[in-house]
Amino acid sequence: MSVPSTADLVVVANRLPVDRVVEPDGSIGWRRSPGGLVTALEPVMRSHDGAWIGWPGGTDEIAPEPFVEDGMMLVPISLSEQEVEEFYEGFSNGTLWPLYHDLVAKPEFHREWWEAYVAINERFARRAAEVAAENAAVWVQDYQLQLVPQMLRELRPDLRIGFYLHIPFPPTELFQQLPWRRQILEGLLGSDLIGFQLGGGAANFVRLVRQRVGHKTHRDTVHLPDGRVVRAAPFPISIDARGFEELARSAPVEARAREIRAQLGDPDTVFLGIDRLDYTKGIYARLRAFGELLRDHRLDVEQATFVQVATPSRERVEQYRQLRDETDRLVGRINGDHGRLGHPAISYLHSSYPREEMAALYRAADVMVVTPYRDGMNLVAKEYVACRLEDDGALVLSEFAGAADELRQAWLVNPYDLNGMKDTLVEAASASHKEKHRRMRAMRRQVMENDVKRWADAFLDELLYDGEHDPSLRPPPRF
């Protein structure tokens, strides 16, 4: 299939929506990555020859040529070993990630990391300028690429540019610690529309622009000196809810869910955590709370077990290696103190699994435990809800996850309050079937009605709308 030279819709993200795989004959192939963003945008991009710009992984000095996969034009961006270290592991995940997550870990501020961030953002912007057709829409994704909108606007003022931040946007007091705060704000202001998970993030951004850049603002809009208006608004992201529901209903997943419970010894209560191994996720605290419940005889290992899936993440970063070691030791200690032969207190799985296995785990679990210290949304909570076909099960959810704004019927918990978390775990596990049914039914309605397609459609419709916020002037969607 020939590769088109330009596209009317361009997604710019840190990663391509495919992973590179080595085939048995040694050739290089591509496999689609799991993720709701790909699911939401794939139909739109496929029907309108959309292009996706991103890093394919690896540290090749020269990026592969653009190619077409599953009807999408994919445009790889190369990163060297040093650029991965300074741009991705350094500024993106050593500076911005902890700063935007309420300083759960201490951010580091290094000038060489910032210089790499600027250089890589410019590389993405230049490639987007080459790929975007005249008057195209460009949708830039997430914290790694916050300078791209303004760089791209300087290169291509004809474009409609949107930006979406998938992680929290911090309060002004935290953001102001960033030495390059003005540059980040001005980079984002290259957008026509900036999307956040929650209204609070959008309000924080507008307030910072008024205070630190000096532009006039009114509610959710910023008025630039050149007459351009930028809107900052919440667009809570979601999941492919129907896809997860269908997967959970399939015979292989149902059989696997029964098998998982049998392998665990058919306990009365299966607690489940599924997270990337990240210090923001609160894994250590929740496992410690479970261990103390066993110690205090409020739970019994013969009747209750905890399955924790911790997907490997950023293992070259020292803070993540330390977290893995600490979690390994805690799990070993709890299992040593409270486990029985054939009945470990905690089944700890440091690995990644396909969607089918995740759906089976969601079906098998009685209580889903999602307790991040700070999270933009947390789609695992929504995936669990989508898979509870009988409106049963219980969701224990951190107040500091964006999902708590939508899933209000969950058992909400402050992850910093260990005793409160222990009480909530027991309460959720021992709640009546009627209570669980009432809560889950309401949450399922919310998740099924507000899926990832609705999220993407809402953002793109707003991005492509040129009127002065008068609904009667809204043109029909272009895509």
Q: For the chain, what percentages of helix, strand and coil (3-state, to nearest 5) are there? A: 45, 20, 35
Say whether pLDDT at 171 is over 80.
yes
Q: Where are the beta strands (DSSP E) in 186-239?
A: 193-196, 216-218, 221-223, 229-234
Q: Which residues of 359-393 are buried (b: 16+ CB within 10 A; e: fewer)?
A: bbbbbbbbbbbbbbbbbbbbbbbbbbbbbbeebeb
Asked if residues 451 and 239 have their Cβ atoms less than 8 Å apart, the reply is yes
Distance spanning both ends of the chain, measured CA to CA: 23
Q: How far apart are CA 335 and CA 344, in angstroms?
A: 6
pLDDT for residue 468: 43
User: pLDDT band at residue 21, thresholds of 50, 70 and 90?
Assistant: confident
pLDDT for residue 57: 86
Q: Which CATH architecture has domain 241-449?
A: 3-Layer(aba) Sandwich (3.40)
Say whether pLDDT at 59 is over 90.
no
Q: How many residues does the chain have?
A: 479
pLDDT for residue 467: 43
Structure tokens at 78: 């190369």
> Greater confidence, 390 or 320?
390
Mean pLDDT of 247-254: 98
pLDDT for residue 34: 63
Give the model confidence (pLDDT) of 265-320 as tens digits.
999 999 999 999 999 999 999 999 999 999 999 999 999 999 999 998 877 777 88
Q: What is the mean pLDDT of the chain?
A: 92
User: pLDDT band at residue 447, thresholds of 50, 70 and 90?
Assistant: very high
Say whether pLDDT at 217 is over 70.
yes
Give the model confidence (pLDDT) of 72-82 as tens digits.
899 999 999 99
In the chain, which residues fall in CATH 3.40.50.2000? Answer: 7-237+454-473, 241-449
Q: Is the pTM of this model over 0.75?
A: yes
Class of CATH domain 7-237+454-473: alpha beta
β partners of residue 118: none
Mean pLDDT of 158-172: 97
User: pLDDT band at residue 35, thresholds of 50, 70 and 90?
Assistant: low
Asked if residues 186 and 222 have their Cβ atoms less than 8 Å apart, the reply is no
Q: What is the dihedral of CA 67, 72, 77, 79, to 10 degrees?
A: -100
Q: How far apart are CA 54 and CA 34, in angstroms?
A: 15
The helix (H) or strand (E) run that includes residue 74 is: strand 72-76
260-291-424 Cα angle (round to 5)? 85
Say whether pLDDT at 26 is over 50.
yes
DSSP assignment string, 380-417: HHHHHHHH-TTS--EEEEETTBGGGGT-TTSEEE-TT-
Mean pLDDT of 3-7: 86
Say whether pLDDT at 70 is over 90.
no
User: pLDDT band at residue 1, thresholds of 50, 70 and 90?
Assistant: low
Q: How far apart are CA 285 and CA 288, in angstroms?
A: 5
Asked if residues 319 and 277 have their Cβ atoms less than 8 Å apart, the reply is no
Query: Mean pLDDT: which of 15-19, 240-244, 462-466 is highest?
Result: 240-244
Mean pLDDT of 98-112: 96
Structure tokens at 287: 């496992």
